[in-house]
Amino acid sequence: MTQQETILVLDFGAQYSQLIARRVREAQVYSQILPFNASLESIKSFHPRGIILSGGPASVVSEGSPRPDPGIFSLGIPVLGICYGLQVMTVMHDGRVERPRRREYGYAHLQDIADTPLLKGIKKGSLVWMSHGDAVADPGANFSVLAGTENCRYAVLADEQKQFYGVQFHPEVVHTEQGVRLLSNFVHDICRCGSTWTMESFIDLEVKRIREVVGDKQVLCGLSGGVDSSVTAALIHRAVGDQLVCVFVNNGLLRKGEDLLVQKVFRDSFNMRLEYMDAQQEFLSELEGVTDPETKRKIIGRVFIEVFETAARSVGSVDFLAQGTLYPDVIESVSATGGPSATIKSHHNVGGLPEDLRFTLLEPLRELFKDEVRELGRELGLPEEIVGRHPFPGPGLGVRCVGEVTKVRLDTLREADAIFIDEIRQAGLYEDVWQALVCLLPVKSVGVQGDERTYEEVCSLRAVTSEDAMTADWYRFPPELLQRVSSRIINEVEGVNRVLYDVTSKPPGTIEWE
């Protein structure tokens, strides 16, 4: 992707680093995240038009706090520091940062806004989101003040001759009213980037790349019916046509009606080569008695590969295995930026593959966020019933069936999940929710049904809003909807007598339970 005009985001461990990159891409400029300690040679290899220094949890006044390579300030390109990024830029240019008596968290109002390209079109009194303990006490001789807030004199600083800019607030979050405008000003007016990052341009570049990489070889792609694998298949099919062999594995961990939908769309509508593999028994046998979530993920990943290899033998020589790995998958699973972020969990797409994998992985969506993948799917002609679906984990219902995975529990979970989604759709709220799911919990509950005592399973409903799955908040359904869902599940799904609603945000929780 280095052919694109690129803005680099150096990650200092902020929870919002991915959001910065997304905001830049929303301005139709390609962005790439690198660790804060990336070498100067690595940075230069991208030929960046500008660099953004992210926020971070460290204190810049602490010994050993993160610093970027000082050479970035000699590249002759604009640099924007956000929160910690502003502070680290300040101290690396003879300024001073200290911890004031009054820290600033939450909303503030921009005041005394200077006439400068960075703040073009931003109104006095505009709300910004502050989240910092340290603050700039002395910006140094070369930095001038472009704006302040009630409690922060140096809210926006700049050495405009060298095109170094810094903001103490977070322009990437929705709480900052005109933050998107500020970032757009930086990438377009200061870095002089054009609006070249579009899904049309991505398709052109990626189709060319896939053709060069694949040559005349065959590609095996596992379809689950989810957005990621579906878009992966459509993109590769656009590039190499019948060299793509799609394998739809019925692993017994799918949503209700998934098998029919996948075959209808890809075999009947797209005329793809589609192999159907009924491997339900293989997965259930391997998962028998297993309750540890990481072990389940590894098993599901391993069995997928075994099934793929069986399918590959039936279609001839196959060299490539396609996966719908996304950028957030990579970041969460292996801390791909190399920064201070900790591994949270392994994703099926990136954490469950054997070391002796005989295929070469082909991951054309690896640097895309979910909203970009949906847009890409629409550009490729996929129906809305596919691209508009809520995210679904690679291990499927295996990680929503908390505890042991059995056919009986999966069937119970499938029916409960279908009811929940049906009610959300009927209420016209499906588009408002990022992801909705039902988990079957490894506990039983005493209940009374038909004047008889019951001792049956408990399920938990979960629905969240999010922009990129890196952070999420629980969705506030009308109580009447939750009541209908609960009533339907208990009356229509045999084996469940209690329904809960999960009100945990991410962080501290994850979206999935396992």
DSSP 390: P
Peptide bond into 508 cis (omega under 30): yes
Measured CA angle at 291 (ends 286, 293), to 5 deg = 95
SS (H, E, C) 396-446: HHHHCECCCCCHHHHHHHHHHHHHHHHHHHHCCCHHHCCEEEEEEEEEEEE
Q: Give the H or E element holding residue 233.
A: helix 227-240
| Residue 83 bears catalytic tag | yes
What is the total residue count of the chain? 514
Paired tokens of 220: 């095996």
Q: Give the H or E element holding residue 19.
A: helix 17-26
DSSP 111: B
At residue 262, the 3 state secondary structure works out as helix
Cβ proximity of 321 and 362 under 8 Å: yes
Q: How far is Cα 86 from Cα 139, in angstroms, rounded to an integer?
A: 10
Q: What is the CA radius of gyration of the chain?
A: 25
Give the chain's end-to-end CA distance (angstroms, integer). Answer: 33
- 């461990």: which residue's tokens? 13
For residue 321, give the nearest of 220, 213, 207, 214 by alpha carbon: 220
Cβ proximity of 341 and 11 under 8 Å: yes
For residue 395, give the nearest of 274, 502, 292, 501 by alpha carbon: 292
| Residue 132 bears catalytic tag | no
Q: How far is Cα 303 from Cα 292, in angstroms, rounded to an integer?
A: 17
3, 142, 166, 262, 434 from 15: Cα distances, Å? 28, 30, 18, 35, 19
Which of 104, 132, 152, 172 does the annotation list as catalytic? 172
Q: How far is Cα 18 from Cα 5, in angstroms, rounded to an integer?
A: 18
For residue 322, give the nearest of 419, 214, 400 by alpha carbon: 214
Residue environment code for 71-98, b if the CB has 16+ CB neighbours within 10 A, otherwise e? ebbeeebbbbbbbbbbbbbbbbbebebe
Q: How far is Cα 483 from Cα 511, in angstroms, rounded to an integer?
A: 22
Which of 170, 237, 347, 348 does the annotation list as catalytic? 170
| Angle, helices 407-426/479-492, rounded to nearest 10 degrees | 140
| Residue 172 bears catalytic tag | yes
Q: Which residues are catalytic?
A: 83, 170, 172
